Structure 1
C-alpha cells in the first residue's frame, strides 16, 4: 500500500525554524517586521519542508510598492546619467517609481541588495553592475524570494539572468579597425579596471582586430586604467617613457581617453598630429573636447528604456517567454577630429 505523503503545514515550518506560527505568518506577510535572522530561518524551513502558501500568489515578500530598485557601481560616473534618466522616464510612464542604490565601496553589495529587496521597498531589481556575487543574486531571484531581476550594461556570464547589453567586443573591434584602416600599424590600448567584464570584452575586440590585421599585440603598449580621467592622465606618463610609442590608442572609455590626451598635451604631444585616439561611450563632453573625440556611441537611452521595460513587463506579468532573455544593442562609430592618418615621417620615439 502506498503511503500518502503529508502536505507540510505552517506548523511544520514553525517547528523547523524554532519560532511560533505567528512569527512564520508575520514573516510571510510583513518580512520588514522581523529580523534578518528570523527571515533566514523561516526561508530555510520553507525550503526544507516544501511548504507553500499558494506560492504563485505569495512569497516571503509582497510586490505592492510599485517601485523598482536600480543598483549601479558608481553614481559619480557620468556614463550612467542618461541611462538612469531613460529608466525613470519609462518607469514613470508605466506607473512605477524608481529608487537608486549606489554600490560604490559598499561592503558585500549583493547581500545589501538582498536586505533591501526583502524590506518591501521595491518590487524588482535592475542591476547595472556585473561584478556582484552570483550565488547571492540567484538566491534573491529564486523561490521563496523570487525577485524579478534584469541585468543591464555589464554582462554576468552563465548566470541565466535576463540581460540588456551593448556589443562591447564587436564595437571595440570596429573602433580598432578604424585606426588600422587609417594606416596605423602601431596601435595601443588604454584598459579599463582589472577583472571588469567590460574591460575583458573590449580588450578581446581590440585583440581580434590586431590579429586579423596581422599586427603585433605589444604588452608595453597596453596601459592600465580604471575608466576614470585620472587613470588616463597617469597612463600618459607611461606613454612618454616608452622608447618606441604607438601612433594610435583605443581607450576603453571616453573619460580615460580625455585624461590621456590631457596628459600628453603637457608634454607637447598633440592629437591627431602626433597620435590618434578613439574612446568609447560618447559622453556629452566628447564632441566638445579639443579635439572632438572619435568614439563608439553606446545607445544608452535605448538601453535604459529597454531594461526598465523588460523588468516592468516581468512585474506586470506581460512577458511569458520561456528561458533567459538576452538583448544586445549595437554601438555606432562616431568619427570626429581625434583620429587621422599617421605622419609620413613616423619613426620610433627617442
Structure 2
C-alpha cells in the first residue's frame, strides 16, 4: 500500500517551532513584528517540515508579488544610484516592482533577506553585496527556499550564483599602466576595505601592472582606506609624513580619491604638479572636482539593467537550459587633469 504523505501546514510549522499559528503568520507576512529568535525558530520549522517549499512554489507560479528585492551594502553610497535607477527602469518595463533592502542597517543581513523572501513580498533577489556568508546565501537559493538569485557588482567566488559585474582586476591594471605610461615609477595604492572582494581585485590588478613593468611594490605605499572620503583624507596626512613619497597614486574608488585630494591640498601638495592620482567608478562629481579626476568609468547603468534582466529571465524561465550566467563588463579609462608626468626631480 502506497503511503500518501500529508502536505505540511502552518499548524505543523507552529507545533515544531512551539509557537502559535498567528506567530508563524506574522513571521511570514510582517517579520519586523517578531523577535529575531522567534523568526529563527519559525524558519527552522519551515525548513524541516517543507512548508515553505510548497508555499514558495505556488507563489512563484502565480506571480503574486511581481516584485524583486534589491539588497545593497549601504544606500548612502552614491555609487549605487545609477545602478538602482537602471534596475527599476528594467523591472518596470517588464511589469515588476522593486523593493530595496539596506543591509548597512541589519545586524544579521542574511536573516533579513530570508525574512523578506519567506514573507512572499518578493519573487527573487538581486544582491549587490559580496560580503554576506556564502553558506547562508546558498541555503536561501536552494530547497526549501529556492529563491532565484543574481549577484551584481561584487563577485562571490566559487558560489555558483548567476553574476553580473565589471572587470575590476583588468581595469585596475589599466589604471596603473596609465601612470606607468606617463613615466611614473614610484606608484602607491590607496586601498579599499580589507575584506571587500572588489578592493582585493583592484589591488591584484595594481600588483600585476607593477610586476609586468618590473617596478617594485613598496609596502609602505599601500595606504589604508575603506572607500570613504574620510579614509582618503587620512591617507593624505599619512603620505605627507613620509620621507620618501610616491609620485602617483591609484585609488580604489573615487570617494577616497576625492578625500585624498582634499587632504593633500591642505598640506600644499598640488595634483598633478606634485603627485598624480587615478580613481575608480567615475561618479558624478569626478568630472567637476578641481582638478577633474582621471578615473575608470564603470558601466553602471548597463550593469544594473543586465542584472535586472537576468533575474527576471530566471523568474520567467526564459531559458530553462541555460547554465550559470557570468557577465563581465569592461570599464573605460577616462583621462582628465589629475594625472601628468612625474616632477622632473622625481623621474627615475
Shared fold by TM > 0.5? Answer: yes
Equivalence for 1:107 = 107
TM-aligned CA distance change 1:13 to 1:113, over 3 Å: closer
Report the alpha carbon displacement of residue 135 of structure 1 after superposing the two structures with TM.
1.3
Structure number having the greater helix percentage: 2
Cα distance in 2 between the residues matched to 1:178 and 1:196: 24
- Aligned residues of 2:14 and 2:24 also touching (Cα < 8 A): no
Any residues of structure 2 matched to 1:59-74 within 5 Å, and which? Answer: 63-74=63-74
Any residues of structure 2 matched to 1:219-234 within 5 Å, and which? Answer: 219-234=219-234
Aligned length: 337
Equivalence for 2:50 = 46
Equivalence for 1:300 = 300
Any residues of structure 2 matched to 1:184-333 within 5 Å, and which? Answer: 184-333=184-333
TM superposition score normalised by structure 2 = 0.89
2:7 is the alignment partner of 1:10:
yes
Any residues of structure 2 matched to 1:72-83 within 5 Å, and which? Answer: 72-83=72-83
Cα distance in 2 between the residues matched to 1:61 and 1:17: 25
| More displaced 10-residue stretch of structure 1: 323-332 or 58-67 | 58-67
Cα distance in 2 between the residues matched to 1:40 and 1:63: 25
Report the alpha carbon displacement of residue 222 of structure 1 after superposing the two structures with TM.
0.5
Equivalence for 1:344 = 344
Q: What is the SS of the residue equivalent to 1:10? A: coil
TM-aligned CA distance change 1:282 to 1:97, over 3 Å: same
Cα distance in 2 between the residues matched to 1:65 and 1:238: 51
Any residues of structure 2 matched to 1:123-142 within 5 Å, and which? Answer: 123-142=123-142
Report the alpha carbon displacement of residue 46 of structure 1 after superposing the two structures with TM.
2.8
Cα distance in 1 between the residues matched to 2:133 and 2:61: 21
Cα distance in 1 between the residues matched to 2:80 and 2:8: 48
> What is the RMSD computed on CA atoms of the aligned residues?
2.8
Q: What is the SS of the residue equivalent to 2:346? A: coil
Equivalence for 2:174 = 174
Report the alpha carbon displacement of residue 143 of structure 1 after superposing the two structures with TM.
1.3
Report the alpha carbon displacement of residue 10 of structure 1 after superposing the two structures with TM.
2.5
Report the alpha carbon displacement of residue 315 of structure 1 after superposing the two structures with TM.
1.0
Equivalence for 2:35 = none
> Deviations along 1:161-191, whole A, 9 cap, x unmatched?
1100000000000000000011000000000
Equivalence for 2:120 = 120
